[in-house]
Amino acid sequence: MYVCLLLTALSLTLVIWLCRPGGNHLPWKQPNRVTSKPQTSGRKHATHNQIPGNKVVPGRSASLVKVNGTKTLLTSAFLEHRFTKKEVRVIAIVLRSEKVDYRCHLRCENQLNISSGFRFIHHDHFGFPYGAAHIMCPVPPSCESPAHIAITSAASEPKGTSFLWSELLMNTMSQDFVKTDDQTTLFVSAGFVEEVPWSLSEFLSVSDYWSPEHNPGVLHYFGQIPALNDCLYRHMYQAKYVAMHDIDELILPQSVDRYHLLTFLQKVTRAHSNTVDKCYQFENNVFPNNIVLPPSMPETKPPAQGCWKSVTGVNILEHLYQEPVNLRNVGKSFKIIVNPQAVFTTSVHGVLKSTNGCVWVNRTIARMYHTRFEATWFGLNML
């Protein structure tokens, strides 16, 4: 299972969980065969087709591709083989009010197969005009190992097919709101952190908040939901479990050894439901990052110790005073650990579609630590 540590390690580890999308058409990475594992695209850069009003920075390639004649952006494609019929699942960002008839161009065994694509939009969009969507493309029975895929609009069909295998090839990308620093670069080069590029702000005016009332923009929180879904599928066969939480959050065991937490949870769920392929929900506990010592004492920061002096970010071990749990939000602000093979679509708080649903983990067993700004509904004397 991929996990994340301090913001010193918090900056590093959770980057792997908020993984992010890659682009629109896919030359599958095929270590062996694509039939057994969904593969993400390895694509050439495309420096055109951005949504009007947002231009790509000169000299820097965009990582997402727009479907011509539409407001649809494609982020990554994966082979979906958990259903009776094989399909290619394309993770996308769409204008929810726009009606589009998609065409799937699938290259297989040097043959071009064209079919209609079916789109479904995630119902978690928080009221923004754009939302995450999946476009499903059928794979013909004769196609054993698909090589590339591209999506077009039926209203704007291309005259040739060369575009499928050149312009639309893109590379993977990384999230806007994860800043790259020397420490991150060090851990990436060491293979401890995977950084997936994400250049969505070059195409859309994204919001940096969860609701349009608090911050304008056309898409929720930097495109968090399509990023989470890309992460889910990207690690479908790389990890037994994936922790779907933010960079300032950490799920920690309380009464179980950290190495045995998931084994323990598997045993508990198997005893009650005969299955271990559930998602696990963890209660959110907030630790204000502006409080270091008790309110009655001088808030002086202890001197940095040894090797920590050169590490940037927030030291979460300095913020140990917890806000009272807001019972009104317990069922809203939790985060999850999932077996990706048992999930089809996910959101910020919980899954949208899975094989066996989710189960709450008692806070005495494990809970989530969220180091962030303080809430306003309580006083310091309540810490």
Q: Are 337 and 1 in contact (CB under 8 A)?
A: yes
Q: What is the pLDDT of residue 302?
A: 56
Q: Which of 337, 259, 250 is nearest to 6 (CA)?
A: 250
Distance CA 188, CA 182 (A): 10
Total residues belonging to the chain: 383
Q: What is the pLDDT of residue 11?
A: 35
Q: What is the pLDDT of residue 100?
A: 94
Cα–Cα distance list, 41 to 63, 196, 297, 324, 341 (Å):
11, 12, 54, 44, 19
CA 81 to chain centre: 21
Q: Which of 93, 9, 87, 81 is nearest to 51 (CA)?
A: 93
Q: What is the pLDDT of residue 364?
A: 92
Distance CA 205, CA 213 (A): 15
Q: Can you list the alpha helix ranges (DSSP code H) found in 134-181?
A: none
Q: Can you list the alpha helix ranges (DSSP code H) found in 148-260?
A: 182-189, 224-234
Q: What is the pLDDT of residue 185?
A: 58
- 210-231 core/surface letters (b: 16 or more CB in 10 A; e: else): eebeeeebbbbbbbbbbbbbbb
Q: Are 38 and 230 in contact (CB under 8 A)?
A: no
Angle ∠(161,73,133) on CA atoms, nearest 5: 115
What is the residue whose two structure tokens read 């009650």?
A: 272
Per-residue pLDDT of the chain (383 residues; tens, 9 = 90+): 443 333 333 333 333 333 333 333 333 332 222 333 333 333 333 333 333 333 322 333 335 788 888 999 998 888 888 888 889 999 999 999 999 999 998 888 888 889 999 999 998 888 899 999 999 999 988 887 787 888 899 887 666 554 443 333 322 222 222 334 455 555 566 666 777 777 788 888 888 888 888 888 899 888 889 999 999 998 888 888 999 998 889 999 999 887 788 888 888 877 767 676 788 999 999 888 888 765 555 555 555 556 667 777 777 777 888 888 877 776 678 999 999 999 999 999 989 999 888 889 999 999 999 988 876 555 555 55
- Beta-carbon contacts of residue 165 (< 8 Å; ≥ 6 apart): 107, 148
Residue 349 CB coordination number (10 Å): 15
Q: What is the pLDDT of residue 77?
A: 87
Distance CA 281, CA 272 (A): 16
CA dihedral 50, 55, 61, 65 (to 10 degrees): -10
